[in-house]
Amino acid sequence: MPRKKAEVVKTEETNDNVYIAGAGLTREDEITETLRTNFMPYAMSVIVSRAIPEIDGFKPSHRKLLYTMYQMGLLTGARTKSANVVGQTMKLNPHGDGPIYETMVRLSKGNETLLHPFVDSKGNFGKAYSRDMAYAASRYTEVKLAKIAEEIFKDINKDTVNFVPNYDNTLTEPSLLPTTFPNILVNPNLGIAVGMASQICSFNLAEVCETVVAMLKNPDHDISTTLRGPDFSGGGVLLKDPDTLREIYETGRGSLRIRSKYTYFKQGNRIEITEIPPSTSVEVIQEKIIDLIKAGKIKEVSDLRDETDKNGLRLAIDLKRGVDPDNFMKKLFKITPLEDTFSCNFTVLINGTPMLLGAKAILNEWIQFRRTCVYRRTQFELDGKLSRLHLLEGLEKILLDIDKAIKIIRNTEEEKEVIPNLMIGFGIDEVQANYIAEIRLRHLNREYILSRTAEIAQLREDIKELKRILSNKELIDRIIMKEQAEVAQKYAQSRRTKLVSFFDETYSSDEQEKTSNSPYTIFYTKEGYFKKISPQSLRMSGAQKLKEDDIITDTIECNNETNLLFFTNLNNCYKCKVKDFGEGKASVMGDYVPAVLDFLDGELCLGMIATQDFKGEGVFFYDNGKCSRVPLEAYQTLSNRKKLTNATSPKGTLVWCTGITDHREFSLFSTNGRMLIIDSSLIPLKTTKSTQGVTVISLRKGQTLKEVHFSDDVVKKESKYRYRSRKIPATGAIFKDADSLDGLSRE
């Protein structure tokens, strides 16, 4: 939309007042012009002067801070208070003490953001991997420059880089730092500008230096053979995908997958996570795991603790018995930030222009930058030696006749004539004459002059060598290669981030399918304990360990994808899968279902139904002698709901339930010693989950239905005719222990 802009007007003064011609008039102006004149300069200022790093690997805020510390003598001196550095930096950076100190924190050794920190810190500087471990105020901490900072300021006073005025033209500062190694790839950098951003991951210093040497020897060098992959300060495990790395090396864009590193301690059945991806924090991971536990998606954890302290990161996870730690971690990698992505965006400023470059292109640009630095340094040294040689050559000329020089000076009447007379007397220029005239009287001896002129031969050799370097690009490249070897020898570290094959470490669908189809036998007891045992473990096991007076009510063969429905005394149904329980053994009591599924206080599990696909019916028997038959589809939901209310009849207490897909016979035992056998076909099918059903066994006052089983499990085949009824309700017959198939008395 066009905006209104005030018209420029002229004023006319009268006797009574001031008359303004055209007052109140406005004219319309296109908003695109306003954006062009105001927004674009702002955007370019943010891009060029704030957010995007340059070829030396620093943003302006980094460079101003480090150069201030260099000027304060903190490269070799003792530490000083951070507040002192912050205050001095404001002479170059006027954006406030808060942002300056935050920049210092990120560059510090204590914060552990960089692979090679430039600030040697003392005190609490927080931790990059912890959101809650905040850094202390600048008045409490102390800093100096780290040893590696020598490499970023090396030869800075030899005209290697340009210096520009600061914001108020009272000081000068370097436009770039003459880093002797490709810091742009060695330390990470993140910047968000207007319309663009930059996120550069860090690489191992030794590998970067090796790659530079290889590229100087062969411009067509394949950097993937020497630059193995990113190396993050927080370590972790990089799932190496050659195609992704090649894309990053060529285009500067791509997403990396980083996993946390963990250790399993068999004693205590504990997992300790000690390294995490750089894109998350230990608090975020902990909160996500807690949320998943509350949602019922994680059942294997008995305790979770954040034990992170000043000694390092540590997230402890105590596992329940029978849980496979490796499979559990694969599950966490899939659903938590313990495995995360790092999106690379190698946008850098090249001669003031933002460019998206691949890693190889960035190294080529850095090599050109470093060649310029070495050339300018060599030219600076050459100029200095030429100037020194010129002075000494003038000094050499008076060596032949020192007395003549003294005589000329003594016989000169005016001081201003001394220089011209020396120039005439010895055939030297004004610069040489000034140098000779300034020599002290005590130095006018042959020994002093001989010792000075002895430098001439060495200077001529040095000048010859410097000129040879300036005229030969290969010699400059050799110097750069030598510098890379020296830096790598001094500061190289072992890789912190482990590299593994992307395909070897991926939790593939084939592996998930294999796990899902693994056979198990599940056991459910009257007291609410659940066990999942593999066939191999079951073959090698002895008797099932149970709680005193507890019995197994259900034994079912299934797999990990089998659905389980647990029905409670509060008429709720809790849904889960077999895979939500850890693998157990016969020698343990198993998982207590109310605890695993987070039942309400006082809520008890009264029955379980297992179904693969919710086909068939569920049969529910209540203590008042009633029974209902409901399609299992009634318990299937489109959403992943874990809890269903009004799942059973509220008018009776559930005694037993089961799922069937065909007709089955049930044996019902009442408290008066009678047993009744009925067929499921006698029970009418209902569609409502909470229906109380029909009466199947007639009970007298004070009597209840005590237990129910499949008749094939408890009654001898030849004895069933005594108890079977062709219609309901029926009273059944007195049960005889001799008819019991399991040998148990039902009294």
195-217: per-residue pLDDT in tens?
Answer: 788 999 999 999 999 999 999 99
**What percentage of the chain carries pLDDT values higher than 70?**
92
Band of residue 745 on the pLDDT scale cut at 50, 70, 90: low
> Any idea what DSSP says for residue 176?
S
* 3-class secondary structure, 75: coil
Which of 17-31, 179-193, 424-438, 537-551 is the least confident region? Answer: 17-31
577-598: per-residue pLDDT in tens?
Answer: 888 888 888 888 888 888 888 8
| Res 54: pLDDT | 94
Q: What is the mean pLDDT of the chain?
A: 87
pTM of the model: 0.66
> In what helix (H) or strand (E) does residue 82 lie, and over which residues does it extend?
helix 82-89
Residue 506: pLDDT over 70 = no
Band of residue 444 on the pLDDT scale cut at 50, 70, 90: low
Q: What is the 3-state secondary structure (H, E, C) of 224-266?
A: HHCCCCECCCCCCEEEECHHHHHHHHHHCEEEEEEECEEEEEC
Specify whether the CB–CB gap between 205 and 488 falls below 8 A: yes
395-432: per-residue pLDDT in tens?
Answer: 888 776 777 888 888 888 888 888 888 888 888 888 88
Residue 513: pLDDT over 50 = no
> Any idea what DSSP says for residue 47?
I
140 in active site: yes
Top pLDDT among 373 and 591 is at 373
User: How far apart (Å, rounded) are the C-alpha atoms in residues 666 and 728?
Assistant: 13
328-342: per-residue pLDDT in tens?
Answer: 998 999 999 999 999
User: How far apart (Å, rounded) are the C-alpha atoms in residues 270 and 304?
Assistant: 10
Specify whether the CB–CB gap between 540 and 587 falls below 8 A: no
Residue among 251, 257, 243, 278 at smallest CA distance from 346 = 251
Q: Which residues contact 708 (CB under 8 A, 6 or more apart)?
A: 621, 655, 656, 666, 667, 668, 669
Which of 109-123, 565-579, 730-744 is the least confident region? Answer: 730-744
| Res 510: pLDDT | 41
Residue 9: pLDDT over 70 = no
- Check whether the bond before 354 is cis (ω within 30° of 0): no
Top pLDDT among 38 and 379 is at 379
What is the number of other CB atoms lying within 10 angstroms of the CB of residue 467? 14
Residue type, 433: A
| Res 622: pLDDT | 94
Name all domains of the chain by residue range, CATH numbers in brackets. Answer: 3-43 (no CATH), 52-149 (3.90.199.10), 261-337 (3.30.1360.40), 510-739 (2.120.10.90)
Top pLDDT among 506 and 261 is at 261
- Burial group, residue 525, by CB count within 10 angstroms (0-12, 13-18, 19+): buried
Please state the rounded mean pLDDT for residues 341-356: 93
Q: Which residues contact 99 (CB under 8 A, 6 or more apart)?
A: 61, 93
Write out the E strands in 260-334: 261-265, 270-275, 301-306, 315-319
- Active-site residue, selected from the candidate residues 67, 70, 135, 140: 140
Please state the rounded mean pLDDT for residues 436-458: 76
Residue 744: pLDDT over 70 = no
Band of residue 307 on the pLDDT scale cut at 50, 70, 90: very high
596-639: per-residue pLDDT in tens?
Answer: 888 888 888 999 999 988 989 999 999 999 999 999 998 987 66
| Res 7: pLDDT | 44
Residue 696: pLDDT over 80 = yes
| Res 502: pLDDT | 56
Please state the rounded mean pLDDT for residues 154-177: 94
Please state the rounded mean pLDDT for residues 693-708: 91
| Res 507: pLDDT | 39
Top pLDDT among 655 and 12 is at 655
Top pLDDT among 366 and 49 is at 366
